[in-house]
Homo-oligomer: A and B are copies of this chain.
Amino acid sequence: MSQDIAAYTAPFAEVAHQRTVFPEGLALDCGATVAPLAVAWRAYGTLNAARSNAILVCHALTGDQYVAETHPLTGKPGWWGNVVGPGLPIDTERYFVVCSNVLGGCMGTTGPREPRAEGEEPWGTDFPQVTIRDMVRAQHRLMEHLGIGRWLAVVGGSMGGMQVLEWAATYPEAVGAAAPIATAVHHSAQNIAFDEVGRAAIHNDPDWRGGRYWEDGSLPARGLSVARMVAHITYLSEQALTRKFGRRLRGASALTFLEDVFEVESYLRHQGSTFVRRFDANAYLTITRAMDFFDLAAEHGGELAAAFRGASAAGTRFCVVSFSSDWLFPTEESRTLVRALNAAAANVSFVEIRSDKGHDAFLLDEPDFHRTLGGFLAGCAERLGV
């Protein structure tokens, strides 16, 4: 593997992302300000005259704004093409769907691999550590720019779900409905530990060069690849891995003991090696840190319910979704969230979807989940006369 991956030493192709630039920049939780602030975003469907049919989709750690169209780097379909589109649960014939690349990301929004300003050097390791709340603040700028006063709904899975919760906590009046999916109000010690393995692998790669790999166009591809491999295991249930691969061998007999002899190894290596062509290592470090530090209760004096009092008063409707075989964000984490929403007298429904696909289920074809989400959004739209 190392040979293959080490060959990807050139930075990935430059893409002209659709962006909006805010020259005044953004003040961050850590005290620093990034200026200018660029937000790369995509939209699908048509904003109605009342501007009341807009849905914000928040992407996960390694997702981006290309939700429902061909990805400009990989050439693959959008990551939620089975959920967002005409006639789909997030119906682009009915809703105006917006998604922006997160602050700290690497697909056009201000982050470590973006120039500080037009024609300047990339931020690199000087990029300040951002929080999930900072990401949401950047999205709020875009919302103002688009002239939208209130989202019909804010929807997202995994880290996208953290942003959904942060929207409800920070801008409750702007959130008509919220669908936090396969997420939690903070990372567990185990989640932090797995992230730390990935970060250690990146830091250990000599091509990381203290984070200044971009200066001569190199990439810590091997470290980033290991980070992706370990993360990928946590996205699948043991059943899903076993069903996909079991202990099947790739042609060779066990006793030849070649590298890459189990199919699951080959698959993981492929996952790792394709990832490095589209994702920046410093962005990976920045975003995983943001997830690890996210702690909605701590932001509200240690009382989780306090985070949702505003949303409760604003009438925000919540639909919390978990998946039974998700061991990265287990159902128990969603129950904790639902208890806090109930304690804040918020309007909340909760569905645990039976699935054996693990955390990744929110990206896959899960008809029960799609019906749940589609029904929730349609109900919210109907209630608001959209």
Contacts and interface: CB of A to CB of B under 8 A. Distances in A.
Interface of A: 1-2, 5, 29-31, 129, 186-190, 192-194, 196-197, 200-201, 203-206, 222-223, 225-226, 229-230, 233, 238, 241-242, 244-247, 254-255, 257, 262, 264-265, 268-269, 272, 289, 292-293, 295, 298, 327
A238 B192 contact: no
Contact of A241 (B188, B225, B241, B272): B188
B233 A197 contact: yes
B193 A254 contact: no
A247 B29 contact: no
Contact of A200 (B1, B245, B247, B293): B1
A226 B244 contact: no
Given A30-B255, A200-B268, 15 more contacts: A129-B255, A188-B238, A189-B242, A189-B247, A190-B241, A192-B265, A193-B268, A194-B233, A196-B229, A196-B264, A196-B268, A197-B230, A200-B225, A200-B229, A204-B225
B196 A238 contact: no
Nearest to A237: B190
A360 to B, nearest CB: 14
A269 B5 CA distance: 25
A288 to B, nearest CB: 12
Contacts of A226: 197, 200-201, 204, 226
A203 B194 CA distance: 20
A242 to B, nearest CB: 5
A257 B196 contact: no
8 contacts: A1-B200, A188-B238, A189-B241, A192-B247, A193-B264, A196-B264, A201-B201, A230-B230
Nearest to A262: B192
A330 to B, nearest CB: 8
The 6 closest A-B pairs by CB, nearest first: A204-B222, A129-B257, A189-B241, A196-B265, A190-B238, A189-B242
A29 B204 contact: no
A79 to B, nearest CB: 22
B200 A269 contact: yes
A238 B200 contact: no
User: Which of A205, A226, A245 has the most chain B CB atoms closer than 10 A to its own CB?
Assistant: A226
A272 B2 contact: no
Given A192-B262, A257-B30, A262-B196, A203 B268 contact: no
A200 B272 contact: yes
A189 B1 contact: no
Contacts of A204: 1-2, 5, 201, 205, 222-223, 225-226
Contact of A233 (B1, B193, B254, B295): B193
Contacts of A264: 189, 192-193, 196
A193 B293 contact: no
A20 to B, nearest CB: 27
A176 to B, nearest CB: 31
Contacts of A295: 247, 254
A223 B264 CA distance: 21
A30 B203 CA distance: 37
Contacts of A269: 196, 200
Contact of A197 (B222, B242, B254, B268): B268
Contacts of A193: 229, 233, 241, 264-265, 268
